[in-house]
A and B are shown apart, each in its own frame.
Chain A
C-alpha cells in the first residue's frame, strides 16, 4: 500500500479531527483518543485488509511495508561494532567510563556508565535499508548535511549543534550497495574533540575492517 503523499502536518492533524471516519462496514470501530489512535496506527493494516474490496485477504501474519525488493544487493560483512574495540573508542572520543550497552548484529552503543545521561556513541549497520531515508532524517534535524567519500565509498556527514556546546554531534553514513553503516558521535560536555574527526576516523577504520 502507499500512503497519500504531500500531506502537510497541519492538514493531517486537521484530518484527525474529522468524526465518523470509520464506516460501519469496517470490521472494528476504534476509539478516537490519542492513545488509542496511536495503537490504531500500528493496527491499521488489518483494518485495511478488512475494508479492501478483495475479499480474499491474505495471511494476517504478513506485516505491511513498502514492497520489499527481493534481490537487494548487500555490501560487505562487518565485524561486531565495525571492529572497533572499547579501547579504541575511548581513545578516539577521550571519554572515560564508557560501557558498550547494545552489542549485537545491528551495531553497538557506548554510554558513559551505561546510562543515557551523557555522551552517546554508536555504530549501526543497516542491511537492505535505504541510506536516503536516513539522510532525510538528518536533513530535517541537523544543522548541516554534506556529501562525503571515505575510502572510496560515498555517503553523508551530518553536524548537529547544541546551543551551549556548539557542534557537539556528528554522524557519518556510508553506502555499500543496498546497505549502509553509520557512526554517531555525540558529546555532552566540554572539553571534547571535533566530533566529525572522530566519526570519520571510526568510519574509516570500520570500512578497513569490513570483509
Chain B
C-alpha cells in the first residue's frame, strides 16, 4: 500500500487503459500491435505487474465523488489513506468522520468471509444485492460500524466505520455495493 501517490495521474492512466481496452474489446486487430510495443527492457522484475494488470485500478472501482456522496460527505472532503487489494478512505460527513474500507480478494470467497465474520462474532445477515449473494456484517460497535461482502470476482466488500454514532453505516455499505456491482458487472 502507499498513500497519495499521483492519484490524478493514476486516474488518467486508468482512463487511458480503459480506452485501450475498449479498443481491444471491440476490434480484434489492436491487441497485438499494442502489446508488443512496451514489452522488454524493463530493468526490474515486473512479473507481478504483468500478472496483475489491475494492480493500479483497484481503488477506482467507484470514484471518490461517488464514495463521498454515498456517505454524505463533500467530494472535496474525502481522502485515500491506503491502496491495493484493500483501499481505505476517510470522508467528512457533517455528523462526523467516516472511515471507508473496500476489499477485493480475487481468490477469496463469500464462504470464507462468512467464516471470518463468525470467528469475529459479528452479526451476519444473508442478503442478495443486485442479484448477487451477499452478507451484511455488524460488529458490536458503539458507532454502528457495518460491512458487506458479495460473491463477485472472488469476493468484494465494503466497510463503513463512523467515528460517531447515529450514522446509517449499513445503508451506506449496501448502497456502495449496489454501485459496485452495477459498474463492474
Contact = CB atoms under 8 A, between A and B. Distances in A.
Interface of A: 2-9, 11-13, 15-16, 18, 21-23, 25-26, 30, 32, 34, 37-48, 51-52, 59-66, 68-70, 72, 74, 77, 79-80, 99, 101-107, 109, 111, 114-116, 120, 122, 124, 126-130, 132-142, 160, 171, 178, 182, 184, 186, 211
Interface string B11-27: 11111111111111111
A105 B84 CA distance: 16
A133 B106 CA distance: 12
Given A11-B38, A160-B2, 8 more contacts: A4-B35, A15-B16, A37-B16, A42-B62, A68-B107, A101-B163, A104-B139, A128-B105
Interface in B22-50: 22-27, 31, 34-40, 44-50
Given A38-B11, A51-B25, A124 B105 contact: no
A18 B29 CA distance: 15
B18 A13 contact: no
A128 B155 contact: yes
Counting chain B residues whose Cβ lies within 8 A of the other chain, the interface size class is 35 or more
**Leading 4 A-B pairs by shortest Cβ distance:** A128-B108, A6-B39, A65-B153, A37-B15
Contacts of A60: 185
A41 B25 contact: no
Contacts, number: 289
Given A6-B35, A133-B48, A45 B184 contact: yes
B147 to A, nearest CB: 5
A65 B120 CA distance: 28
A111 B127 CA distance: 32
Nearest to B45: A139
A66 B23 contact: no
Best-surrounded residue of A30, A43, A60, A105 (most CB of chain B within 10 A): A105
B153 A12 contact: no
B140 to A, nearest CB: 11
A104 B102 CA distance: 11
By CB atoms of chain B within 10 A, which of A3, A106, A137 has the most? Answer: A106
A137 B54 contact: no
B63 A39 contact: yes
